[in-house]
Amino acid sequence: MSFGAAKRFWKEAQVVEADGGYSVALDGRAVKTPAKKALVVPTRALAQAVAAEWDAQEDRVNPLTMPVTRGANAAIDKVAVQFDEVATMLLAYGDADLLCYRADSPDGLVARQAQGWDPLLDWADARFGARLAPRTGVMHAAQDPKALAALEDPVRRMTPFELAAFHDLVSISGSLVLALAVSEAHLKAETAWDLSRIDETWQEEQWGVDDEAARLAARKRGDFLQAKVFLDLCRRGP
């Protein structure tokens, strides 16, 4: 049974043990990814979440209501086959990390950025030996290569499933450091999201909320929090 099937035919989704982890079967038929690979995940908790999504489908399969299944598919079909490329792309965010690009005015925003972001740069230095330097303005200024190299190990040690979730944490927030803080349980995902939105929150306070921008931000927040859920499921034993 593949992810793209239109109609529901099964009565029950079951978690089954498989080589390398756990799989999901629909009335005995193994679920496959869109690339027709076996959908085998590393933990029972993750497989149970996938099975719950399939069980929740009604007459027709709606992939938009199946974020855990989509994440597992991405890990198997995309990340696993190009792990180094994905890791390298995410590590590049460190050289232009959101937390390092600061306003030079007004004073209130400058202070809010420093209060929210400086402790995270200090944490990255203490945890990984990676001292990233803040700067004002939006023009790119390269970071110390030694600091960037210090951030490589925790990213490249991830499994494809972890990296699939980590991809969303980094790309949605724009910050490698924030994503690592969430991954390492230094920050709750909700707190990290708020910290990634300091500039936007400031603008809303000054000029009011744009409804379309707010809807987009809400979708991104949901995706960000879901990425942390997926990451936790990947790590929950057995």
CATH architecture assigned to 1-63: 2-Layer Sandwich (3.30)
CA gap 224, 210 in Å, rounded: 21
* Long-range Cβ pairs for the range 46-51 (8 Å, 24+): 46/22, 46/72, 46/161, 46/230, 46/233, 46/234, 46/236, 47/15, 47/21, 47/22, 47/23, 48/15, 49/233, 50/13, 50/24, 51/13, 51/14, 51/15, 51/24
- Provide CB contacts within 8 A for 73, sequence distance 6+: 3, 33, 34, 39
CA gap 133, 89 in Å, rounded: 20
In this structure, what is the dihedral angle of CA atoms 90, 50, 233, 155, given to the nearest 10 degrees?
-20
Radius of gyration of the chain (CA): 20
Q: Which CATH number fits domain 82-235: 3.40.718.10, 3.90.870.10, 1.10.3580.10, 1.10.287.540?
A: 1.10.3580.10
CA gap 141, 186 in Å, rounded: 27
Tens of pLDDT along the chain (238 residues) come to: 555 557 888 999 999 999 999 999 999 999 999 999 999 999 999 999 999 999 999 989 999 999 999 999 999 999 999 999 999 999 999 999 999 999 999 999 999 999 999 999 999 999 999 999 999 988 999 999 999 999 999 999 999 999 999 999 999 999 999 999 999 999 999 999 999 999 999 999 999 989 999 999 999 999 999 999 999 999 986 5
pLDDT at 2: 57
Tokens of 115: 């209060």
pTM of the model: 0.94
CA gap 232, 165 in Å, rounded: 9
DSSP H or E segment with residue 26: strand 21-26
Which one, of 68, 46, 117, 107, lies nearest residue 227 by Cα?
68
Sequence spans of domains, the chain? 1-63, 82-235
pLDDT at 113: 98
